[in-house]
Amino acid sequence: MNMNMTIIGQIISFIIFVYLCMKYVWPPLTAALAERQKKIAEGLDAADKANRDLEAAQQSVEAELQKSKAQAAELIEQANKRANQIVDEAKTAAHTEGDRIKAAAAAEVEQEVNRAKEALRAQVAALAVAGAEKILGASVDVNNHQELVDKLAAEL
Amino acid sequence: MASNSAEYIKHHLTNLTYGNHPVNGWSFAESSEQAAEMGFMAINVDSMAWSIGLGAFFIWFFAKVAKTATTGVPGGAQNFIEMIVEFVDDNVKSVFHHKNAIIAPMALTIFVWVFLMNLMDLIPVDWIPALATASGIHFMKIVPSTDLNVTLGMSIAVFVLIIFYSIQQKGIMGFLAELSLQPLGKWALPFNLFLELVGLIAKPISLALRLFGNMYAGEMIFILIALLPFWAQWMLSVPWALFHILIITLQAFIFMVLTIVYLAMAHDHH
């Protein structure tokens, strides 16, 4: 075993290889490793965020659904109320119309009665004059007894 | 057979050394004795070639994958490399709590490079030396981490960084104070200094010797197994190779973790 210049040669090559490793091997590899680590961390973060988003979306969907259900229920109730109202209104209107028609009919009947009374009155006057003529045997001057006849008709 | 075996072992444990021989001048050593005679002015060509080749392979392969690294779903190669990078990064982060751009890439380099150098141990011991001999190269040791020069070279580089960061973080006086004023206070200064210096120097030495020793012993056992008759070798070589997978990974890991720990200690203020 001889110690010789090999020792110096080895020192020189060692220094050169360490230098080359520092320059061409270590930095790109560690950079790639760090980069990948970052990427994975980001990916995991993104997955987490997506999960949270999904949960939030599900919650909002649930809330929205609840809201629309409530709205639908309210609408139905309103519609029911409105329908009842319409029916009530129709009933009232029908009643009113009925009453009006009845009142009109009654008024017409009254009018008819009055008209008949007028006609009868006129005829009664004529009949009374005729009856009186017959009884008296003479003609009664209508003009002379106009006042009397009118009184009689008015009493009828 | 005995002398044959000794020669075989010796052959497998000799580096291909090129250097300045006192007699032959600049040439390849033809024996370990000649390599020893060359002294310091020599270089283990096989260790350097394999270690640089493996280091270059590591940088090429990792840089290629790093360049096309996607932040999306990673492919096979990228997945594999990211696994290693994350493993190293986790280790660095759990031990080293200061800001330093060098530590993590250096830990990765050490781990993968040392692992690849150790991995050469699992290639059957005779294959590549036989190929080398066939092509006219007499010695060929393919496991760089069984060469003390290689492990010591790396640990010395780490040692220099330990000293550098100690001084950078604590100042020269702070570093000296740390070396001389503990564990026993200022009245035992020489004793403290001796203790701390031994501790300091033990760091690179133990780092280098641990890796070297483990790999050298492992290689030696493979060589010894290779001396058995060919039909009996698998009974030992297979279990040992399987066990050795654990050792080579563990040694690479230990070298990396201790480097991180030592440099973290250099950054820590006491």
Q: Which residue has the tokens 């009665």?
A: A113
Range 105-134 of A in CB contact (< 8 A) with B: none
B175 pLDDT higher than 70:
yes
Q: What is the model's pLDDT at position A138?
A: 64
Rg of chain A, C-alpha, whole Å: 61
B126 pLDDT higher than 70:
yes
Contact A24 B63 (CB under 8 A): yes
pLDDT in tens, B79-121: 999 999 999 999 999 999 988 889 999 999 999 999 999 999 9
Q: What is the ipTM of this complex?
A: 0.89
High-pLDDT (> 90) share of chain B, %: 55
Find, in chain A, the residue whose alpha carbon is nearest to that of B159: A11
Contact B62 A29 (CB under 8 A): yes
Rg of chain B, C-alpha, whole Å: 22
Running DSSP on this structure, what letter comes out for residue A21?
I
Helices (H) and strands (E) in chain B, counts: 9, 3
Distance from CA of B265 to the nearest CA of A (A): 20
Contact B43 A6 (CB under 8 A): yes
Give residue B52's pLDDT band: very low, low, confident or very high (50, 70, 90).
very high
Residue spans per domain, chain B: 46-124+142-267
Range 76-105 of B in CB contact (< 8 A) with A: 78, 81-82, 85-86, 89, 101-102, 104-105
B270 pLDDT higher than 80:
no
Q: How far is CA B246 from the centre of its chain?
A: 16
Contact B108 A10 (CB under 8 A): no
Contact B48 A36 (CB under 8 A): no
Spans in chain A with pLDDT lower than 50: none
Catalytic residue among B47, B118, B214, B237: B214
High-pLDDT (> 70) share of chain B, %: 99
B183 pLDDT higher than 60:
yes
Q: What is the model's pLDDT at position B148?
A: 92
Running DSSP on this structure, what letter comes out for residue A145?
T
Do residues B233 and B225 touch, judged by C-beta distance below 8 A?
Answer: yes
pLDDT in tens, B140-155: 888 999 999 999 999 9
Sequence-distant (6+) residues with CB within 8 A of B170 are B177, B178, B269
Among the listed residues B106, B140, B148, B137, the one whose alpha carbon sits nearest the alpha carbon of residue B120? B140
Find, in chain A, the residue whose alpha carbon is nearest to that of B73: A36
| 3-class DSSP state of B147 | coil
Residue A136, number of CB atoms within 10 A of its CB: 9
Sequence-distant (6+) residues with CB within 8 A of B122 are B241, B244, B245, B248
Taking the Cβ of residue B149 and every Cβ of chain A, the question of whether any pair is shorter than 8 Å is answered with: yes
Collect all residues of chain B within an 8 Å Cβ-Cβ radius of residue A10.
47-48, 51, 149-150, 152-154
Q: How far is CA B80 from the centre of its chain?
A: 23
Do residues A4 and B149 touch, judged by C-beta distance below 8 A?
Answer: yes
Catalytic (active site) residue B27: no
The helix (H) or strand (E) run that includes residue B201 is helix B189-225
CB-facing half-sphere around the CA of B147: CA atoms within 13 A: 34
| 3-class DSSP state of A63 | helix
Provide the whole-model pTM: 0.76
pLDDT in tens, B242-260: 999 999 999 999 999 999 9
